Structure 1
Amino acid sequence: TEHEPDVLLTEIHRQARDNPIIRLALDVREGREFMHGDYGTAQVIGREAVNQDLVLKADQVLVGTNRTRRRYNQRLRELKGFNADFPQAGDKLVCLRNDPAKGLLNGSLWKVMTSSRETVKPGINLLVSPEEDDPDRGVAKIKLLKAAFEDPDAEIPWQQKKRFDDFDYGYALTVHKAQGSQWNDVVLFDESWAFKETRQRWLYTAITRAAERLTIVR
């Protein structure tokens, strides 16, 4: 329903008094703009104030567009010392396609345990474990297509693509992909301008991905 009962709204307003993240989300939802500033567990800063430490310490970096996501993933991998153009042990990956048999869920995050590239064939064999300790999901064996990482912009025919698992780096995620997940410490690059009439909803969803700390860069 569009209009929640008053009781619920009163409760949300009460929480907002104690929680800067909920307060920002509420401001956005009710059409109010917010300014740069330190709100306690939430802060809003300009791009010039972003430093490596901030993004490396975050549990998750969120962005709006795929173009930014690709660029930031590349940069974050460099900062973390990964230099190969395919996933290495320690890399963070996001699953892009369900595979119930392997326990792979679209949008789920994984850590690479081992990675070995096939010399002649086009695949990379990985052993991955869920980023969060998840009793329902264990270690999974996946096979990725080398070409998808060597040239991310290349169009890969579905016939070839479907024979491999579909993953990408997960250091930066789009808010769309992050729906339904929450992290303690989130750095959000505000690209709400890209969403025109759904801008408010995008921003609300983005802000509410943070459970304890939120930094909005705009």
Structure 2
Amino acid sequence: MSEKARNLKPALLVVALAAIAAAFGVYLKGEGDGKVEPAATQASTAAPQNAVTKVLSTGTMTAFVVKADRKPVPEIAFLPENGGETSLKAWKGRVVLVNLWATWCAPCREEMPSLAKLQTEMGSPEFEVVAIAVDRKGLEASGKFLKEVGATALKLYADPSTEMLGKFQAVGLPSSILIDREGREIGRLAGPAEWDSPDAKALIKAALAEK
């Protein structure tokens, strides 16, 4: 190879590098002001995903099904302990764990103390366990049940019409539905669960962290 050819190699390398740099510069430019942020910067400004994800369906919460598309929960009137009527609209702006149960439900009897413990440990102006007795026996029998199982930390609510089951499309009792501050269903768990477990508390904390 001649000396002239050898001298051309560095020059050609410089030209090639310049061309690559120019091409990369064009890739980062767009219309308008001619500036487009690199992909990494764009990702950092993207809206965060919901704090509650399928990753939290683990351990004692394995049966918890996270909804991919959150929809408003049905508005159904039910009875509070002091009489009158209320609905879940009264909890708008708070995270709520609705638990549907009945006095004749054996798994409910096992689960209720753990719900009471969850309410005692995490209940606040931001969160409440709303346990609703879907029971034709009404408030008096339901209140007696809560005392028997040692779950008096839960406020007494009842739906003697039992319409809750159909409106929530609950397949059985107990059923627990976690609701966000906007009144939408985050997800649900059919059957009994250890609601005072670390896994359950992590789920509730994640729901509370959502803004």
Structure 1 or 2: larger helix share? 2
TM-score range (shorter-chain normalised) is under 0.3
TM-score w.r.t. structure 2 length?
0.26
Structure with bigger gyration radius: 2
